[in-house]
């Protein structure tokens, strides 16, 4: 008697709402292209459709970037702290990895960009 028929319906509807919100909020805007910059200038704008490796030269050396369907990451970079390498795969629109001081950056773009521009 604790749960009546409608209660089960409300619980299921609530679970459906939670699932919908999760998909909508956390999986909403997957990126479809990647913008690669060196010293602030765009050097490449590539779609996230097929696997490829890109090498970009900076003041310290060469930054290697791997692209796979739906995601991209920095594979190797000469910067001392390796923060952009440790970030791993980027998938969502608006995510970015900055390799400093090698001045190479990687930004994922989706259908609707969250920001017009980002200054670092």
Partner 1 sequence: MLRMTRSAIELPVTPDDRRIARLAALAIGLTLAEAAIPSPVPGVKPGLANIVILLVVLQYGWRAAAWVSALRVLGGGLLLGSLFAPGFWLSAAGALASLLVLALARHLPSRHFGPVSLSVLAAFGHIGGQLALAAWWLLPSAAVVMLLPVFAAAALIFGAVNGVIVARMLAGAASSGRQSASCTPPSTP
Enumerate binding residues for partner 1 (CB under 8 A): 1-7, 10-11, 14-15, 17-18, 21-22, 25-26, 114
Q: What is the 3-state secondary structure (H, E, C) of 80-99?
A: CCCHHHHCCCECECCCEEEE
Q: Are residues 90 and 105 in contact, defined by beta-carbon separation less than 8 angstroms?
A: no
* Structure token digits, residue 12: 């299921």
CB of 25 to partner 1, least distance (A): 5
CB of 90 to partner 1, least distance (A): 16
C-beta closer to partner 1: residue 3 or 51: 3
C-beta closer to partner 1: residue 22 or 49: 22
C-beta closer to partner 1: residue 22 or 55: 22
Strand pairing of 104-109 and 33-38? antiparallel
Greatest C-alpha distance within the chain: 72
C-beta closer to partner 1: residue 6 or 119: 6
CB of 9 to partner 1, least distance (A): 8
């Amino acid at each position: 008697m604790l749960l009546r028929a409608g209660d089960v319906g409300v619980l299921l509807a609530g679970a459906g709402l939670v699932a919908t919100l999760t998909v909508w909020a956390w999986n909403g805007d997957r990126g479809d292209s990647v913008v690669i910059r060196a010293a602030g200038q765009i050097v490449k704008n590539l779609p996230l459709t097929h696997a490829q490796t890109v090498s970009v030269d900076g003041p310290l050396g060469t930054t290697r970037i791997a692209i796979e369907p739906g995601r991209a990451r920095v594979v190797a970079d000469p910067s001392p702290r390796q923060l952009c390498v440790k970030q791993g795969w980027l998938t969502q629109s608006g995510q970015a990895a900055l390799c400093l001081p090698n001045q190479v950056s990687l930004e994922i773009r989706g259908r609707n960009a969250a920001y017009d521009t980002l200054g670092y």
